[in-house]
Structure formats: structure tokens, C-alpha cells
Amino acid sequence: MSSGLAPYAVTPENSRGRVHSEPPPKHRSEFQRDRDRVIHSGAFRRLEYKTQVFVNHEGDLYRTRLTHSLEVAQIARTVARAMGLNEDLTEAISLAHDLGHTPFGHAGQDALNHCMRDFGGFEHNLQSLRVVDELEHRYAAFPGLNLTFETREGILKHCSLANARKLAELGQRFIDRQQPSLEAQLANLADEIAYNNHDVDDGLRSGLIELSELAQVPLFADQLAIVRRNHVGIDARMQTHEVVRGMIGALVNDLISTSQARVTQLEPHSIDDIRSHRSPLIGFSEPLAEAQRALKQFLREQLYRHPKVKRMTERAEEIVTTLFARFSADFDRMPAEHAERARAAHDEHGEAGSARAVADYIAGMTDRFALQAIEALGEGS
């Protein structure tokens, strides 16, 4: 085929298109256009000041959601190109996948989910979709960014059945138990590779985890042995760089060879064959999947539940919960635009409507903006 893409890759020709139809771009593909719209969005710029594990003001060396998203895109593009898949689409999905994240990483999302428990909950995948479908206001002709079906499908990694039923075409695959495109599947796994490895790197740099502890984790230990053999006498920092690079390489190579073997065996002829397959085709071999699970478990126990991280987590939950309560009790504590939105949503959908508007406002905050907001309420401590 002329595009050089595999017959089961997503292409502009087999795309289900955009909700609001637009003339095709002149010098870009439809998915390059999606990627560019994501990069020019306000939510994308705010990723610079949002964190995953470490709160942003703790140091400039740690990953932010922005650098995380760039790392995901870099890994995903490598896999896409190696497998003849649509690199532009997988890049657009990767760069957009965390747009809906709250301030303060998972702690912020858990707290907001708890605040929203009577109003449909809060889920970051769904919020990323809300950002690109509704919350960005940059185009006169339509709300949101009007991205293609395939980019939106990739952003919505998980979804409850209740939410799927409200999402029409986009929710249908969760009801039918179908798969998304291979490009979406691989963006999802590139996300895992990226965060596991940068959390190892950031964890070591912060001193919250030790090299000797990590040396008990097989994936790390294997690469450490190789590095020690090949580079005698390098310092600990360089050793970490080499080991992390080695782990990413091992995971990416395994992902490509395992996924390619599965695809070759299935012989899909079109994107429909991918969607209707009973399980995802992109994945790791069993030994590497197991090694990755062990690494995840290590990070959960030693890093994410570290007393220092827990203290930050608790403070983050407190901030988000307080902001939600204060804004819900008095919309005018929010900027006029958001207060208006909350009032209009309350008129239309009652408390559930205004709660969603308040959640949208809080979710859009960066870590430091949320800290300023809580101080402005006189709740800083």
C-alpha cells in the first residue's frame, strides 16, 4: 500500500471522522492535525505544572505530566513505526492521554472522585475526553478540539458500563467487549513503560528508594548486571541512567516482537479484525509481563506508600476536598466564568450539574495554582 502502513493500521481513509465535519487539512494528515490541536491546547500547557508522584515545587528535576506525556509519545512512536502502524495517531493519543488529570497526581484524582461520589464520580480518562470534547474553548465553530474518533477512542482507555452507555458510539466497545485500534493499545502500554521507569529514576534521585532495594527486582537486577559488566567503575548516577535505559529498551523490544508475532499469527486484514478480536494484541511476553508486575509492586510498596509520599498525598487530598466544599457552597469563590458555568449547570441539572462544573474547575488546576487557591481561601497551613 502506498502509505507504507499495515492493512490493519488506522488511516484517514478508514477513520470514523470528527463529530463536526471539517475540510481535510492541506499539509497534514487528520491525525497530525489532532496532535497539533492537543499541543496548542491550554490543558496541555498546564501539564508542565502537574505531577504524578512528586509535587511540583519539591524540585525541578522530577517528571511532570508534560515530560511524562512526551516520554510516552516517544516510546509509542517507536513501536508504531516498527509495526507499520499510524505514528501520528499514536502520538496524538499519547500527548492527550493525561489532559484530564487533577493537580497532585493520583491523590488529587482519588479525592475528587470521593467528592463526586453522589454525582457520577470522577475518572481521569473520562475527564481527558471531556477536556478535548467540551472544556477547551478555542474554536468558533465547535466546542472542544473536535478530534477524530480514533484519537478520542484512544484517550478513553477504561470506562465503566454506566458511563459507556452515556457515550454513544465511543462507549459501544465497552458494551460489546471490543478492542480499540492497535495505535490506542500501544499508547496504553507505552504509558506503563514510561511511568514505571521514570518513577524508578525519580525515586532513586529523591533518595526515597535505594539501589540495593531495587537490585532485588528482577527487571532491574538483569540490567544492573549487564551495566556492571560493561561499565566498570562508573558512578551510581550513571549506573541508574544506564539501567533505566536498558529496562526501557528491553520492554520496548519485547513489546514489539511479542505484539508483531501475535498480529502475524492472527493475520488481520483490516481495522475491523483488530476491533473484534477477543483480547488486545499489543502486549508483553509472559516473562516480561511478570517482571513488570514485580516492578510495579515494588514501586507501590516502597515509593507510592513511602511515609514522605503519603504525607504529601494526605495534604493533597485535604486541599482538593476543601476546595470542592468551599466552591460548592459559594460559586462566587471561583472566577466569574466558572461561577457562571456552575450556576447554569445547577439550573439545568441541579446539584449534580454544579458539582461537575466545580470538579472541572479543580481538575484543570496545576499543583501550584491549587496551593495558591487554598491560601486565598485562608486554608493554607
Task: Name the residue nearer to Mg ion (CB basis): 32 or 67.
Answer: 67
Choices 90-98, 132-140, 332-340, 367-375 (CB under 5 A): range interacting with Mg ion: 90-98
Size of the site for Mg ion (CB under 5 A): 2
Task: Name the residue nearer to Mg ion (CB basis): 228 or 296.
Answer: 296
Position 202 contacts Mg ion (CB under 5 A): no
Position 123 contacts Mg ion (CB under 5 A): no
Choices 41-49, 189-197, 218-226, 345-353 (CB under 5 A): range interacting with Mg ion: 189-197
The distance of closest approach from Cβ of residue 70 to Mg ion in the complex, given in angstroms and rounded to an integer, is: 11
The distance of closest approach from Cβ of residue 141 to Mg ion in the complex, given in angstroms and rounded to an integer, is: 30
Position 191 contacts Mg ion (CB under 5 A): yes
Choices 1-9, 133-141, 183-191, 316-324 (CB under 5 A): range interacting with Mg ion: 183-191
Task: Name the residue nearer to Mg ion (CB basis): 98 or 153.
Answer: 98
Choices 26-34, 38-46, 96-104, 222-230 (CB under 5 A): range interacting with Mg ion: 96-104
Give the chain as a 3 state SS string: CCCCCCCCCCCCCCCCCECCCCCCCCCCCHHHHHHHHHHCCHHHHHHHHCCCCCCHHHCCCCCCHHHHHHHHHHHHHHHHHHCCCCHHHHHHHHHHCCCCCCCCHHHHHHHHHHHCCCCCCCCHHHHHHHHHHHHCCCCCCCCCCCCEHHHHHHHCCCCCHHHHHHCHHHCHHHHHCCCCCHHHHHHHHHHHHHHHHHHHHHHHHHCCCCHHHHCCCHHHHHHHHHHHHHCCCCCHHHHHHHHHHHHHHHHHHHHHHHHHHHHHHHCCCCHHHHHCCCCCCCCCCHHHHHHHHHHHHHHHHHHHCCHHHHHHHHHHHHHHHHHHHHHHHCHHHCCHHHHHHHHHHHHHHHHHHHHHHHHHHHHCCCHHHHHHHHHHCCCCC
Q: Binding residue for Mg ion (CB under 5 A) from 34, 98, 202, 317? A: 98
Task: Name the residue nearer to Mg ion (CB basis): 30 or 191.
Answer: 191
Task: Name the residue nearer to Mg ion (CB basis): 18 or 97.
Answer: 97
Choices 10-18, 186-194, 262-270, 272-280 (CB under 5 A): range interacting with Mg ion: 186-194
Task: Name the residue nearer to Mg ion (CB basis): 104 or 331.
Answer: 104
Task: Name the residue nearer to Mg ion (CB basis): 152 or 338.
Answer: 152
Q: Which residues bind Mg ion (CB under 5 A)?
A: 98, 191
